[in-house]
Amino acid sequence: MAAFWFLVLTLFAGAHSASPPTRIVGGKPTEIEKYPSMVQVDYINLFTDIWSQSCAGSILTSRYILSAAHCFAGGFYNPNLRRIRAGSTYRNAGGVIVYVEDAYNHPSYGLRVYDGDITVVKLRSALTYTPVVQRTTIVSQGSLIPDNFPVVHAGWGRTTDDGIPSEVLLDVTVFTVNNKVCTDRYAAIPDSPPVTENMICAGLLDIGGRDACGGDSGGPMYIGNITIGVISWGGECGNGTFPGVSTNVASYSDWIYATAV
């Protein structure tokens, strides 16, 4: 059975104040200058008071960030236990730090496993735009993403399924997978979460070796410089049978615009 990295990481939520750390498998080092809308989402460890990157996100405006709802949920979640690091290539170093005021998880989150795994995060203070701190562009509501289309993941998550997070930003190109094919693949696993119409699957189908992984949650799926997905969950990282799954931003674009005001 595939080891769902979202679920596995959630088991450590108590120790880390609540949520999953997520890194790119099969990627290569890159720089924040290439992805200036990307940010790190830091958690504070309640036992050590040490902050550390555990998720990622994208800048919507100077006061709002787009990320995954599961990064801002759980029994130990509190906005005071999250902060954003923007403008740095390096994990847990450099850039600018801004603390979280609140997070608005999509109302459907939690009604079906992983469906609606998207959030708009409000910052306590505004980011200042620079060459390495810029807002993203999101896809329009209802946009259709073709199958077998090249897309890019970027993040600081694990480089192997049982590995450790990357110290530098990585990116990787994968290909979108037909939703029904992806649905059928995961349906063959007992107790697998369902793949819904609000999700985008991507990887190297039947080959593997490239994927998002733990610590990449909340980060972007790009076509060009447009954010079309939010990294959400998946089977064993880089598994050719079970592609990674991202939230389809096109299912929620209108809600994102209405929330990030």
DSSP of 68-119: -GGGG-STT--GGGEEEEES-SBTTSSSEEEEEEEEEE-TTBTTBTTTT--E
Q: Distance from first CA to last CA of the chain, Å, rounded?
A: 43
217 is catalytic: yes
Catalytic residue among 70, 166, 171, 253: 70
Q: Where are the beta strands (DSSP E) in the chain?
A: 28-29, 38-44, 51-61, 64-67, 82-86, 96-105, 119-123, 137-138, 150-155, 170-177, 199-203, 220-223, 226-233, 244-248
| In contact, 100 and 89? CB cutoff 8 Å | no
* CA-wise closest residue to 114 among 221, 255, 217: 217
Catalytic residue among 42, 115, 117, 216: 117
Which residue type, as a one-letter code, is found at position 46? Answer: L
| In contact, 227 and 136? CB cutoff 8 Å | yes
Q: How far apart are CA 117 and CA 249, in angstroms?
A: 10
70 is catalytic: yes
CA angle, residues 165, 83, 125, in degrees to nearest 5: 145
106 is catalytic: no
Catalytic residue among 17, 217, 232, 253: 217
Which are the catalytic amino acids? 70, 117, 217
